[in-house]
Amino acid sequence: MAERLERYTVAAVQAAPVFLDLEATLDRCCALIEEAAAHDARLIVFPEAFVPAYPLWAWHVPAGQSRPLRELYVELLDNAVSVPGPAVARLTAAARAAQATVVVGVNERNAEASGTTLYNSLLYFGPDGRLLGRHRKLVPTSGERLVHAQGDGSTLEVFDTPAGRLSGLICWENYMPLARYALYAAGVEVWVAPTWDRGEPWLSTLRHIAKEGRVYVVGCCSAVRLDDIPDAYPFKSALGGSPWVNPGDSAIVDPDGKLVAGPLHESQQILYGDVDLRQVRGPRWQLDVAGHYGRPDVFELRVDGRSRPMASVLRDGSDVGATTSSAPDTAESGGAAAAGATGRDGAAAPGPRAQGDAAPR
């Protein structure tokens, strides 16, 4: 792994994708990575489901209107990301050229099984271009369940990177206290919170997580104008008369819950802030929720970090697992993991995955 950085610049990319256009959105994503790197950003974070777009129609097209929902789903599926695949290869090359740790929200196709279900996922790339791993959103929120499936505990993990011990949750996953605690117990220092949410109380949520976990928090949202949605989509008429479908409100927060930068409102640009990882350690003298402020004698959290393949194959009387893996192909499945947390069978859960560990092929 490259040398750990104690101080560096982080970039929250508040931009709009090229709506439901995979290749054009990847072009924009790679250009924005290059721009952020030119401003010396060593950690670059993109919004929730940025590639090729957050499925905002889920909040405006009623569930009973199956024909338009099917049409939109097919278009999103055709422009979704497979892991591994050509889109991932482009992003790894961009991270390597930038020599930065990059986190990108994508709509991920379940390439390990049917190839026709989608996950709301985060992809983590190291500055050497390696795909460190991914996180699939555990619980799609409300209307999102018309589009995205549920992830499992195998992708709930912390990555050891030059930018610190890095992890996070997507949008309203951040309201799941047990998921937060699992990552605190795994030693997270820098927390990414890609989202479609904005305003209050979301900004208060970012500040609370920073204060609770004594972590830096990078909240990153797409800033989407009405003009960013092509007129060809009938649901556009339901988005209202405001020029902004989503004003953004990306923000960077320090471990005391104070704003470092932002919120960035009604603007499509990159928000920069400074991180000093030494500031993570000092505040934990007073409050370390997964250390001296925890009470494992009173409370017990067990995290099931096993993947849940759709099918397993028996050969010669032995279960050899799924026909293809439901997580990036690594020497160890990684997963859920909290130092001291245990799986359902009582075994210790695996800890954070280092950048130098076996990477997806």
Domains of the chain: 7-285 (3.60.110.10)
* Band (117; pLDDT cuts 50, 70, 90): very high
* Band (241; pLDDT cuts 50, 70, 90): confident
- Cβ atoms 105, 47 nearer than 8 A: yes
Q: What average pLDDT does the segment 286-308 reach? A: 94
Active site residue ranges: 48, 137, 171
pLDDT of residue 325: 39
Q: Within a 10 A sphere around the Cβ of 216, how many other Cβ atoms?
A: 28
Residues 251-286: tens digit of each pLDDT? 999 999 999 999 999 999 999 999 999 999 999 999
* Band (339; pLDDT cuts 50, 70, 90): very low
pLDDT of residue 319: 62
Whole-number average pLDDT of the chain: 90
- Measured CA angle at 54 (ends 214, 121), to 5 deg: 55
Scored b (16 or more CB within 10 A) or e, 16-48 reads: bbbbbbbeebbebbbebbebbbeeebbbbbbbb
- Cβ atoms 224, 249 nearer than 8 A: no
